[in-house]
Amino acid sequence: MNILVTGSGGREHALAWKIAQSPLLDRLYIAPGNGGTKDSATSVALDVTDHAAVISFCVEKDIDLVVIGPEAPLVDGLADSLELAEIPTFGPTSTGAQLEGSKGFTKDICAQYNIPTAAYGRFDNANAAKAYVRDQGAPIVIKADGLAAGKGVILADSVDEACIAIDTMFAGAFGDAGTQVVVEAMMIGEEASFFAICDGENALELATAQDHKTVGEGDTGPNTGGMGAYSPAPVMTSEIRERVMTDIIMPTVKAMKDLGQPYRGVFFAGLMITVEGPKLIEYNCRFGDPECQVLMTRMKSDLVPLLLGAAKGDITGMSVSWHDNHALTVVMAAKGYPDAYDKGTLIKNIEAAEKSDSIKIFHAGTKFEAGEVLATGGRVLNVTATGQSVTEAQQKAYRAVDKITWHEGFCRRDIGWRAIEREKKAQE
C-alpha cells in the first residue's frame, strides 16, 4: 500500500522510519519531511493548507492512507476534507481536534462525562475571570483557550499574578487563542503522558512517556516544545494505566461518538498523577514530539495495521507489542532556542554517532544539501537510545550526542533525571 505522512519534525521522521519497516508498504511519501526522512520516504512539496492539492496528490499516487503528524492541519480540518474524498486518514476531524484546539471544549467534556481533571471556570471577559480567581484564591492556573504553541499556560502563585495573566491574555498576548480563558485549580503530583489509539468506537492502549518541557537543566527556564523524553514512564503502574483507560480515555471516546464525531487517531493525554489518582491536564490530538520518537523505537508490532485500522474505523482484535526496554531521546537544539537562533549551520558526524543498533537519530529542523546536513530549525536532532534501564539508555544517548560535531547546537545533559533517581533508589 501507499502512504502519505504530513509534517517535518522529529515525530514525522520517527513515524516514517517505523512505517517504512512494514511489509505492507509499497511507497511512502512525506510532505515535506526533513533532512533525515530520505532514509524512509520520498519528500514531496505539498501545501497541506491546500486540501484540494493534497486530495489530488493522493488520487494521483494511489494513496491508501494519510497520516497527519502535527495538530495545525487537524484543527484546520484536513482530515474532514480527506474523509469527504474517501481517503482513509489517521487523525481526527476538526471537531475531534478541538480536544487540543480548545481547552474549554475539553474541560466541558470532562465535566459532562465525569472525567477526573482540575476544577475550572471558562470565561470570555476579564472581569468575570478575575472575580472567579479572587473567589478561588492562589495558586491557580490561567490558560488561553486556543492553540498557543505550549506557551498559553500561566501557573500563578498569587491572585495578583493571576489577574495580570488574565489581562495579558484578553489584551491579545496569544492572539485569537486568548479570546477565551480557562481558569483552573492547581494540581499537585508527577506528570506523565499516556497514548492510546482510537478507531471511533474502541481504544487500544499504546504506551507511556515523560518529557522535559523547559530549556534548562533541572527543569528550569522557559518552556519549549520538549527537550527530551523517555518511555515507559515509571510512575505509570498498571493500576494507574487501567484507571486512565477506564476513567479518562473511554469516556472521551464516548463523548466524541455522542457528538457525532467518532475520533480516529491517537489520544495523547497529559496527566497529573495525584494522590487521588490520575487526572487529565490536557489532550493533544496527535503523537507527542519528542514522545513519538521513544514510542516508535520501542514498538515491536507493525504500526501500519494500527494506523489503517484506526483510520478505517476498526481496530477490533488488534494488539500492540513492545520491546522490553527503555528508550530515551535527547533533543539537540540550535543555541538561542526557544528564542532567536542561527539557521543554516553545519552538522557533522551524524552517521558515526548512529553506528549502533541501539541508537537512532531522528531529524527535526534539518535539511540535506550537497551531501551535508544543515540546521534549519530550533529543535534539530533527536538522539534516541535504548537500554535495559533509563540509566543505560541515557548513557548511550549522550555518548552518541558527544560524537556529533555541531558548534552552534546544545542539549540538556539531564534528560531522564527523575527516572534515573528512581532507579538509583531502587538499587539502594
Positions touching ligand GLY (CB under 6 A) are: 211, 225-226, 284, 288-289, 291
Among 1, 20, 44, 186, binds ligand AMP (CB under 6 A): 186
Minimum distance from CB of 313 to ligand GLY (Å)?
25
Q: Tell me how far apart the alpha carbons of residues 397 and 168 are, in angstroms, rounded to a whole number.
A: 40
Distances (CA, A) of 42 to 27, 35, 56: 8, 11, 17
Minimum distance from CB of 131 to ligand AMP (Å)?
19
| Cell numbers found for residue 144 | 488561553
Minimum distance from CB of 100 to ligand GLY (Å)?
9
Measured from the CB atom, the residue of 255 and 272 that comes closer to ligand AMP is 272
Read off the amino acid at residue 290: P
| CB 273 within 8 Å of CB 192 | yes
Which among 179-187, 316-324, 397-405, 418-426 is the span making contact with ligand AMP, rule CB under 6 A? Answer: 179-187
Residue from 9, 98, 88, 28 nearest 307 by CA:
88
Partner residues linked to 28 by β-bridges: 3
226 touches, from ligand GLY, ligand AMP, none (C-beta below 5 to 8 Å by class): ligand GLY
Minimum distance from CB of 291 to ligand GLY (Å)?
6
Minimum distance from CB of 269 to ligand GLY (Å)?
11
Among 32, 262, 270, 387, binds ligand AMP (CB under 6 A): 270
190 touches, from ligand AMP, ligand GLY, none (C-beta below 5 to 8 Å by class): none
101 touches, from ligand GLY, ligand AMP, none (C-beta below 5 to 8 Å by class): none
Close Cβ partners of 128 (under 8 Å, ≥ 6 residues apart)? none
Close Cβ partners of 164 (under 8 Å, ≥ 6 residues apart)? none
Q: How many CB atoms lie within 10 A of CB 112?
A: 11
Q: How many CB atoms lie within 10 A of CB 310?
A: 29
| Cell numbers found for residue 288 | 507527542
126 touches, from ligand AMP, ligand GLY, none (C-beta below 5 to 8 Å by class): none
Q: Tell me how far apart the alpha carbons of residues 243 and 245 are, in angstroms, rounded to a whole number.
A: 5
| Cell numbers found for residue 356 | 549502533
- Please report, as residue ranges, which positions from 138 to 167 form the binding site for ligand AMP (by CB under 6 A): 141, 143, 150, 153, 155
Which residues contribute to the site for ligand AMP (CB under 6 A)? Answer: 118, 141, 143, 150, 153, 155, 184, 186-187, 191, 270, 281-282
